[in-house]
């Protein structure tokens, strides 16, 4: 997947955040300079491992903190452990005006399953 494909997927998904397969999310790492990976897991999960370069905001704090950390026009891939919290966070971000938001289908566990790099 490239940034153009990401943008097309996001734009055709209507009001919901698009879901990106983990393999495609891995391919995007390092290819898109304005793509931020947003980890919405709790601190104890974040401290175990994460996608390299990811930004951390727990799902319960996204509404109050995301605008201070991520500009509105930035491409964002949201993830959690398996995907549920990422969908919630992406919905909040859409309400706040973020339009280029997607989630990683299956979360960081799916990322790991397709041999995506992790940092501790």
Task: For residue range 96-111, list pLDDT tens digits in order.
Answer: 999 999 999 999 999 9
**Whether the predicted pLDDT of 14 surpasses 80:** no
Asked if residue 42 has pLDDT above 90, the reply is yes
Mean of the per-residue pLDDT values of the chain = 93
pLDDT for res 33:
82
Closest CA relative to residue 28, chosen from 84, 98, 102: 102
Mean pLDDT of 22-50: 94
The CA radius of gyration of the chain, in Å to the nearest whole number, is 13
Q: Identify which of 119, 52, 39, 46 has the alpha carbon closest to the alpha carbon of residue 86.
A: 39
Share of the chain above pLDDT 70, in %: 100
pLDDT value at 13 more than 80: no
Residue 59 pLDDT exceeds 90: yes
What confidence tier does 61 reach under pLDDT thresholds 50, 70, 90?
A: very high
Residue 87 has pLDDT above 90, yes or no: yes
Residues 6 or more apart in contact with residue 107 via CB below 8 angstroms: 79, 80, 81, 82, 83, 86
Question: Could you tell me the pLDDT band of residue 12, with boundaries at 50, 70 and 90?
Answer: confident
Q: Which of 15, 57, 50, 7 is nearest to 32 (CA)?
A: 7
Instruction: Give the class (CATH, top level) of 3-113.
Output: alpha beta
Domain assignments of the chain as residue spans, ordered by start? 3-113
């Amino acid at each position: 997947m490239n940034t153009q494909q990401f943008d097309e997927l996001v734009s055709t998904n209507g009001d919901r955040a698009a879901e990106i397969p983990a393999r495609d999310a891995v391919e995007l790492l390092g290819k898109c300079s304005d793509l931020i990976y947003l980890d919405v897991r709790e601190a104890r999960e974040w401290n175990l491992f994460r996608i390299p370069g990811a930004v951390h905001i727990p799902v319960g704090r996204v509404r109050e903190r995301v605008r201070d950390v991520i500009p509105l026009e930035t491409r964002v891939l949201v993830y959690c452990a398996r995907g549920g919290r990422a969908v919630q966070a992406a919905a909040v971000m859409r309400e706040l005006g973020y339009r280029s938001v997607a989630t990683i289908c299956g979360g960081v566990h799916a990322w790991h399953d397709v041999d995506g790099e992790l940092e501790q």
